[in-house]
Amino acid sequence: MKKKIIALLLSAVMVMGLAACGGDPGTPSGSGAEGSTGSEVTDNQEPSQSSGGKILSVQIGPNPETIDPALNSAVDGGNMLLHNFECLLLVGQDGTLQPGQAESWETSEDGLTWTFHLRDGLKWSDGSDLTANDFVYSWKRVCDPEVAAPYAETVLSMVEGYDAAIAGDLDALQVAAPDDSTLVVTLNAPCSFFGSLAAFATLSPVQQATVEANGDSWAVNPETYISNGPFYVSEWVPSSYIMMSKNPYYWNADAIKLDGIKFNLIEDSNAAYSAYQTGEVLMIKDVPTEEIPSLEGNGEFYVDPIIGTYYINLNMKEEIFQNKKVRQALNLAIDRDYVANTLMQGTYSPASNFMGPGWIDTDGKEFVENANGGNPYIDNADYEGNLAKAKELLAEAGYPDGAGFPNIAYTTNDAGYHKVVAEYLQQAWAELGINMEVNIVEWSSFTPLRRAQNYDVARNGWVGDYSDPSNMLDLLYSSNGNNDGKFANAEYDAAMDISRTTLDPAERSQALHKAEDILMEEVGCIPLAYYNDFWLQSDKIVDSWHSAYGYWYFMYADIVE
Amino acid sequence: MVKYITKRIFLAIATIWAVATLTFFLMNLVPGGPFMAEKAISPAAMAALEAKYGLDKPLGEQYIMYMSKALHGDFGDSLRQRGRTVSSIIFSKFPVSAKVGGLAVIVALCLGVPLGCFAAYKRGKVTDSIISVVSTCGIAVPGFVICTVLMYFLGVRARLLPTLGLTDWKSYIMPVIALAFYPTSYIMRLMRSSMLDVLGQDYMRTAKAKGLSQRVSLFKHALRNAILPVVTYLGPMIAYTLVGSFIVEKIFTIPGLGREFISAITNRDYTMIMGTTIFLATFMVIMNVIVDIVYKLIDPRIQLK
């Protein structure tokens, strides 16, 4: 018997020889990596705890596609940029604008000229001087058609000369540096929230010499990824981790307590949760939804609002949805409390308005507090009453108990709670006698389909870029590229036009509220729930905060045992 | 032999070309594009991006441009991971996957072949039944279940092994087990059935009648014949295992190539889809040629024509 076993083992060794032969084209270690460049070589070094010091290990999303400030359009990329770069202004913990690289700033009386005064002695993370000219270069770069920055229009379209710049004449953009510490921006129309844009990551300064020498790949290799924020990237192993180290040249470096932050690029929420449980990471953004019920009441589980709304588009091209009463009936027949608190496990909040918490009115107050005379547009506490009214409205529209109502379809991709919501709506609108089927579409096909209005009813959502209400109300402007339902209302457009041009804060506020009034009365879309961020964070992390934009600020954090 | 190999190489090139062409046109048929995001980018930015990557040109022209560049070894820039070229992504990530996958292949062979033989030899006994049950489970249970179970028990509960990334030898254990589970089970079954087949052959009886020792008859005569189906399976298996698995890499946060295959498609990253497809096709074709040659070495009766 023993002999047989030995013989079997020998046979295994023989077969291994075969395997080795077969493995040739891709000899495992090393050799393949020679073809790659610089730091992309993913030889598995020990994670950089070896660099020593106090390193905070967190998870705020998978591998970012880009961390070039001009190219980024994603929240997880934005979270990285926040720690690496500093704009002219920044958003403080209380949500207000604060001095960043600019120490002070002022606006001319006509609101068209913005002047920023930079701090003295600003430096890049490589120790070289940073001047106002760096901002001039960086802002013009955002307009460069060769760069094709996705957010160019959002952040710079109000600057004089933008149209010419985006067409290729970069120097037409009216951004100038009369001296090394002054930046003057001339706008083509007043923009009361331009300060928020000056704090927007797309407008971070980038170092001209490095970017020009390396092209797009400057933002891929830590050696060339020169930044000006509290931290700089010292290592990036794609899909594994981004290691950031404290930037000694940052103007406020003395206030930075951590030596480094390790952003673990974990893609799978269960893997993130495991790593959190074992203590390998101290904070995770991606909490598995099936774990949420067991985390209720856990002091390390946080739920915090972000500015954004989950809403439903009705395709306004379709005759049935051109009937206002039909839209109102559909809007009222939803039990939002149940959707947000039960189906979505409290990770969303029931929406009563289109504009939820976090949007700031011109008087500095929450926009939602001033909306509709301080009352919610939809009374979520009275679902039964709403449903009765919805049935009435549908009857008035000519479809009593849904009789004669055409069959409709709800289209969504399958992620998060989208499917659960779809099934709920199917059930909720069945109460009105409406027959709706659910179409689940692959994510990459879903967006183009929705944009082409190839649907009856579709899921939609928006998370704000900055807290000015126009950022979201603009979505329903008739010609907006994100107006997927093609809601078109002349009064609404007129109100938004006023909000864009007026310099009077009260008039502007009034116009914005009027727009929301019209939207909610006309049911331009059906708001369902407000977004929250929910995450797990150990008590060992102190002095970090989360903002309504969906960002986590770890730069001033510390770890206590 | 030389003639045969030359012929195979020509065939291989034709196969790769056909795969590349088919993929190119199919991926362009699928709705969506690399620059589609939940928030629409301005038409000007979209036009600029499409111009930058030549996506504004007619499809035929794009195809010719791509193919002529690819022939010169230039697979272009990734459309989504801006600043990275397709080849740099593939060649930086492939070694990581190949390291884990290579270990899994070795484990699968070392366990699968002997256990399969053993089960055949002990046909109908308890050992055979145990091996059958294990191998059936290995084939039936999906990869993510194995990963999750391993992660939960060894990583989270027992805290024996790290759950994140590839740091030291310990962190290879769970991914390798997860990757090797299916091929091990499959090889066990293949080996068992072909061994049973061979053991019933006349020449085995002759060997026994001649008085050859059990060892010689089993390993010199039976194994050499019985291993052929396993060798056939090895070609694609090695190729698939070395390029990495989407699920295993996602769950254990391994920066390998496996996930790029899937994310390239969901992201509509056209150049990455082409690059990864051509890479896998080439790898597959090479493995098949090697398998054919190995056949010949194991069984001289096989004529390579």
State pLDDT tens for residues B5-35: 888 889 999 999 999 999 999 999 988 889 8
pLDDT interval class at B298 (50, 70, 90): confident
Strand partners, A187: A159
* Strand-strand pairing, A408-413 and A457-463: parallel
Please tell me which of the candidates B99, B156, B214 has its beta carbon nearest to residue A4: B214
pLDDT score, position B40: 77
Q: Where are the domains of chain B?
A: 86-268
Touching B: A residues 513-532, CB under 8 Å: none
- Tell me the two tokens of residue A431: 């109460």
Strand partners, A241: A237, A264
- Tell me the two tokens of residue B22: 């088919």
What are the two backbone dihedrals, phi and then psi, of residue A61, each rounded to the nearest 5 degrees? Answer: 145, 175
SS3 A415: coil
Q: Which fold has domain A87-203?
A: Dipeptide-binding Protein; domain 1 (3.90.76)
In angstroms, rounded to a whole number, what is the distance separating the alpha carbons of residues A162 and A164? Answer: 5
pLDDT at A20 over 60: no
In angstroms, rounded to a whole number, what is the distance separating the alpha carbons of residues B195 and B187? Answer: 12
Instruction: Determine, for residues B121 and A25 on separate chains, whether the beta-carbon distance falls below 8 Å.
Output: no
The structure's pTM equals: 0.87
Q: Where in chain A is the domain with CATH 3.90.76.10?
A: 87-203
ipTM of the complex: 0.88
Instruction: Determine, for residues B113 and A28 on separate chains, whether the beta-carbon distance falls below 8 Å.
Output: no
Say if A148 is an interface residue toward chain B (CB within 8 Å).
yes
pLDDT score, position B1: 74
pLDDT at A548 over 50: yes
Cβ-defined contacts of B38-42 (< 8 Å, 24+): B38/A447, B38/A461, B39/A73, B39/A462, B39/A482, B40/A451, B40/A481, B40/A482, B41/A73, B41/A150, B41/A151, B41/A481, B42/A150, B42/A152, B42/A153, B42/A481
Instruction: Assess contact for A183 and A104: CB atoms under 8 A.
Output: no
Say if A49 is an interface residue toward chain B (CB within 8 Å).
no
Query: In Å, how far is B46's CA from the nearest CA of chain A?
Result: 7
pLDDT at A25 over 80: no
pLDDT at A31 over 50: no
pLDDT at A318 over 90: yes
Among chain A residues, the shortest Cα distance to B111 is held by A12
Q: If you average pLDDT over residues A438-449, what whole number do you get?
A: 91
Q: If you average pLDDT over residues A280-301, what whole number do you get?
A: 94
Touching B: A residues 171-210, CB under 8 Å: none
Q: If you average pLDDT over residues A59-83, what whole number do you get?
A: 93
| pLDDT tens profile A211-255 | 999 998 999 999 999 999 999 999 999 999 999 999 999 999 999
Please tell me which of the candidates A7, A16, A36 has its beta carbon nearest to residue B106: A16
Instruction: Assess contact for A492 and A476: CB atoms under 8 A.
Output: yes
Q: Residue A64: how many CA atoms within 13 Å on its side-chain side? A: 25
CATH architecture of A306-533: Roll (3.10)
Please tell me which of the candidates A7, A22, A36 has its beta carbon nearest to residue B234: A22
Q: Where in chain A is the domain with CATH 3.10.105.10?
A: 306-533
Please tell me which of the candidates A25, A151, A238 has its beta carbon nearest to residue B255: A238
In angstroms, rounded to a whole number, what is the distance separating the alpha carbons of residues A109 and A96? Answer: 22
pLDDT at B263 over 80: yes
What 8-state DSSP symbol labels residue B120?
A: H
- Tell me the two tokens of residue A460: 């939609």
Of the listed ranges A9-18, A219-228, A433-442, the least confidently predicted one is A9-18
pLDDT over 70 for what percent of chain A? 91
Closest CA to B32 of A278, A221, A451: A451
Q: Which residues contact A187 (CB under 8 A, 6 or more apart)?
A: A111, A112, A113, A114, A158, A159, A160, A174, A194
In angstroms, rounded to a whole number, what is the distance separating the alpha carbons of residues B153 and B149? Answer: 6
pLDDT at A52 over 70: no
| pLDDT tens profile B189-230 | 999 999 999 988 898 888 888 888 887 888 778 888 899 999
Average per-residue pLDDT for chain B: 91
pLDDT score, position B305: 64
Strand partners, B259: none
Instruction: Determine, for residues B31 and A445 on separate chains, whether the beta-carbon distance falls below 8 Å.
Output: yes
Closest CA to A556 of A122, A52, A95, A93: A93
Instruction: Assess contact for A352 and A380: CB atoms under 8 A.
Output: yes
- Tell me the two tokens of residue A195: 């300060």
Of the listed ranges A459-473, B199-213, B226-240, the least confidently predicted one is B199-213
pLDDT over 90 for what percent of chain A? 81
What are the two backbone dihedrals, phi and then psi, of residue A245, each rounded to the nearest 5 degrees? Answer: -120, 155
pLDDT score, position B281: 94
Q: Which residues contact A229 (CB under 8 A, 6 or more apart)?
A: A82, A83, A84, A85, A86, A204, A247, A250, A555
- In chain A, residues with a C-beta closer than 8 Å to the C-beta of B255 are 42, 237-240
Say if A265 is an interface residue toward chain B (CB within 8 Å).
yes
- In chain A, residues with a C-beta closer than 8 Å to the C-beta of B242 are 23, 26, 28
Of the listed ranges A43-57, A160-174, B4-18, B168-182, the least confidently predicted one is A43-57
Question: Distance between the two ends of chain A, CA-based, in angstroms?
Answer: 58
Best of A274, A284, A446 to substitute, by most chain B Cβ atoms within 10 angstroms, is: A274
Please tell me which of the candidates B37, B48, B253 has its beta carbon nearest to residue A145: B48
Name the CATH superfamily housing domain B86-268.
MetI-like (1.10.3720.10)
Angle separating helix axes B270-298 and B86-121, nearest 10 degrees = 40
Touching B: A residues 410-449, CB under 8 Å: 442-445, 447-449
Closest CA to A320 of A436, A405, A393, A400: A405
Q: Residue B95: how many CA atoms within 13 Å on its side-chain side? A: 18
Amino acid of residue B223: L
Instruction: Assess contact for A231 and A84: CB atoms under 8 A.
Output: yes
- In chain B, residues with a C-beta closer than 8 Å to the C-beta of A29 are 95, 98-99
Say if A215 is an interface residue toward chain B (CB within 8 Å).
yes
* Strand-strand pairing, A436-441 and A408-413: parallel
pLDDT at A395 over 90: yes
pLDDT interval class at B295 (50, 70, 90): confident
In angstroms, rounded to a whole number, what is the distance separating the alpha carbons of residues A471 and A451? Answer: 19
Closest CA to A312 of A430, A472, A421: A421
| pLDDT tens profile A492-538 | 999 999 998 888 999 999 999 999 999 999 999 999 999 999 999 99
pLDDT score, position A48: 40
